[in-house]
């Protein structure tokens, strides 16, 4: 009977150590990367909040690839599209 109690106690200790090991593995593989991703998204969202739509447009014009700059520049059809009559 004593041997069974000792064996069961050893099994419980091994199981507790296995739980601790799995917790550490979960922290390393899932929790910390998820927290880092959450922080990255929060940082991006706060940057977008700081960059109002006007500032965001200016940011895109100055810091985006050159293909976006000048797409509609010089086009008379977009210059007068806000309600003023177009010159004939």
Highest mean pLDDT among 13-27, 45-59, 67-81: 13-27
pLDDT tens digits for range 34-44: 999 999 988 88
Is 70 contained in some domain? no
Is 56 contained in some domain? yes
HSE-CB at 18 with a 13 A cutoff on CA atoms is: 6
Is 24 contained in some domain? yes
Is 69 contained in some domain? no
The confidence score (pLDDT) of residue 30 equals 94
Q: Which residues contact 59 (CB under 8 A, 6 or more apart)?
A: 51
Number of domain units in the chain? 1
In the predicted model, what is the mean pLDDT of residues 53-79?
61
In the predicted model, what is the mean pLDDT of residues 23-41?
94
């Amino acid at each position: 009977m004593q041997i069974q109690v000792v064996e069961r106690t050893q099994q419980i200790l091994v199981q507790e150590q296995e739980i601790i090991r799995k917790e550490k593995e979960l922290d390393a593989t899932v929790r910390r990367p998820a927290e880092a991703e959450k922080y990255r998204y929060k940082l991006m969202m706060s940057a977008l909040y700081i960059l109002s739509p006007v500032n965001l447009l200016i940011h895109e014009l100055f810091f985006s690839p050159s293909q976006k700059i000048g797409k509609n520049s010089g086009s008379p059809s977009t210059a007068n599209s806000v309600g003023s009559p177009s010159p004939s």
